[in-house]
Amino acid sequence: KRLAMAKVLIHTPDVLILDEPTNHLDLHMIEQLEEELSAPNMTLLLVTHDRYFLDNVCDEIIEMEFGEFTRYKGNYSYYVEKKALADEVRDATQQHLKGLMKSELEWVRKMPRARGTKSKSRLDAFETIKADATRKFDREQVKIDVKTERLGGKVIEVRNLTKSFGDPTDPATHKPIVAHFSYSLKRGDRIGIVGPNGIGKSTFIDLLTKKTEPDMGTVSIGDTVILGTFDQQGLQLKADQRIIEVVRDIAELIPLNKGRTLTASGLLERFLFDKEQQYQYVSTLSGGEKRRLYLCTVLMRNPNVLVLDEPTNDLDIPTLNALEDFLVDLDICLLIVSHDRFFMDKLCNKLLVFQGEGKVKEWVGSYTELRERQKEEASRASKRPEPAAGAAPPKAKTSGKPTYGERLELQKIDKEMPKLEAKKAELLAALSAGGTDHHAMMELSLELEKIVKRLDEMTDRWLVLSEKK
């Protein structure tokens, strides 16, 4: 999908039509796509459930509802505000029409059968009022209400977790996912897991849920934990199985809060599968309906630790809103991998940021707060004055002769720096040559950025150690 997007954008089209463009893109790529689509001369028509993307890219929203199109001249936030106001006006108008219909109905009942022209005209007006007053505007919405079991003090404890793929002795094939990572997931934690595509976020989730064995370290899950996992693979369904059977295979009665219970059929109705559809085969379901059914089967097990791996793919905005409203006040732990920044901001109070080479950094706060901090740091770095031409770099303070370890470190730097310089030159040459693969160019640029940063760090360290010689 990233390659297809790059092929489209490389031609700088005047008109661009996109259907769910942010699915399967990582957060960094989505932000870059937003910049690309902000070109003033581009006409854009897109379908997406990514609410921040709509806010940042669109200046007009077209809503399809009740067989009608309504245009809102603004971004998604503007649409939400004006839509709520329009709904209030419509509801108030309908209440007024119901009162008017009631009084007109009394007139209709009193009128004799033989009616004149004026009476016929008033009767036609009554029929119009009746049609408008009784028109159904109720939206079908997912109603989520399941019981969650009490969670004890111990949730998930990770000690010295290490996992990699490939040959550790071959840098070309070796891919560290996580290295010597220790963490204690506590009650009330709502953790978002962020990082580029392919860095190992889903593998990390599999390690925490014990679907994958680590190379080193331990994962310990508390005795009171009831784990629920909503992942990208989805529910393994049999094409000849009926929808109701999928739920009944788990339970016929589902416990709710306050001692109430709900039948499997009743639960499916709350997830917008009416009684007629419940007896259809799962092969008839759309991708979005299968995801909704999968969500139903996960939540009906009453989990108190919920793992969501790209949960917003193929869910519409009303279903997302219902899921968010259900989870936001729920006393459970959440582990979320998602490209949906709105979803992450609303539900997560911490982030685990995958930085590559097995490094994972904790951030306390939302994703938006993290990005603001990163942008501030980048802005400060860009404003640092460059040293005058020919001026010698400032000398580091010396502190006596180098230790044996420092001498070894200096020798290692002397060996590594030429290799990094050669790699830097290779990447610069590749970027200068250009190419039509937009994604490949971006990957080269990111790799070059890492190399330059590493060279800067090594140069600074080399200066400090050299002063001790």
d(CA 308, CA 320): 13
pLDDT at 290 over 60: yes
pLDDT at 136 over 80: no
Beta strands across the sheet bearing 216-221: 175-185, 156-165, 216-221
Neighbours of 219 (CB within 10 A): 17
Residue 184 and residue 223 in one domain: yes
Residue 92 and residue 162 in one domain: no
pLDDT at 386 over 70: no
Residue 238 and residue 97 in one domain: no
Mean pLDDT (whole number) for 123-147: 69
d(CA 237, CA 386): 61
3-class secondary-structure state, position 253: strand
**In this structure, what CATH number is given to the domain that contains residue 331?**
3.40.50.300
Split at pLDDT 50, 70, 90, the class of 387 is: low
Split at pLDDT 50, 70, 90, the class of 228 is: very high
Mean pLDDT (whole number) for 307-331: 86
Neighbours of 311 (CB within 10 A): 25
Domain-located, residue 397: no
Length of the chain, in residues: 469
d(CA 129, CA 124): 9
Domain-located, residue 139: no
Q: What mean pLDDT is reported for the chain?
A: 83
Residue 178 and residue 255 in one domain: yes
Domain-located, residue 430: yes
Neighbours of 80 (CB within 10 A): 17
Number of folded domains that form the chain: 4
Domain-located, residue 315: yes
State pLDDT tens for residues 57-99: 999 999 988 788 999 999 999 998 898 888 787 777 777 777 7
pLDDT at 395 over 60: no
Which pLDDT belongs to residue 396? Answer: 47
Determine the structural domain holding residue 439 and report its residue range: 404-466
Split at pLDDT 50, 70, 90, the class of 434 is: low
Residue 230 and residue 312 in one domain: yes
Residue 342 and residue 435 in one domain: no
State pLDDT tens for residues 141-164: 667 777 777 888 889 999 999 999
Task: Report which of residues 89 and 247 the model is more confident about.
Answer: 247
d(CA 233, CA 238): 14
d(CA 276, CA 244): 10
Domain-located, residue 71: no
Neighbours of 272 (CB within 10 A): 18
Burial class of 431 by CB neighbour count within 10 A (0 to 12, 13 to 18, 19+): middle
Residue 346 and residue 414 in one domain: no
Residue 449 and residue 327 in one domain: no
3-class secondary-structure state, position 15: strand
Which residues are CB-contacts of 170 (< 8 A; sequence separation ≥ 6)?
none
Mean pLDDT (whole number) for 432-453: 67
Query: How much of the chain, in percent, has pLDDT values that exceed 90?
Result: 34
Is the Cβ–Cβ distance between 234 and 292 less than 8 Å? no
The beta-strand segments (E) located in 276-323 are: 305-309
**In this structure, what CATH number is given to the domain that contains residue 455?**
1.10.287
Domain-located, residue 440: yes
First to last CA, the chain: 54
281: left (phi over 0), alpha (psi -120 to 50) or beta: beta
Which pLDDT belongs to residue 359? Answer: 94
Task: Give the range among 57-61, 239-243, 430-434 with minimum mean pLDDT.
Answer: 430-434
Q: Among the three residues 16, 37, 66, which one is the final residue of a domain in this structure? A: 66
pLDDT at 124 over 80: no
Domain-located, residue 147: no
The beta-strand segments (E) located in 49-155 are: 61-65, 68-72
Split at pLDDT 50, 70, 90, the class of 398 is: very low
Residue 281 and residue 363 in one domain: yes
Residue 270 and residue 358 in one domain: yes
Mean pLDDT (whole number) for 346-372: 93
pLDDT at 437 over 60: no
pLDDT at 380 over 50: yes
Domain-located, residue 144: no
Beta strand 359-364 pairing with 350-356: antiparallel
Split at pLDDT 50, 70, 90, the class of 383 is: confident
State pLDDT tens for residues 170-225: 877 889 999 999 999 998 899 999 999 889 999 999 999 999 999 999 999 999 99
Residue 219 and residue 270 in one domain: yes
Mean pLDDT (whole number) for 11-30: 87
Task: Give the range among 191-205, 276-290, 415-429 with minimum mean pLDDT.
Answer: 415-429
Backbone angles phi, psi at 248, to 5 degrees: -65, -25
Split at pLDDT 50, 70, 90, the class of 433 is: low
Residue 160 and residue 34 in one domain: no
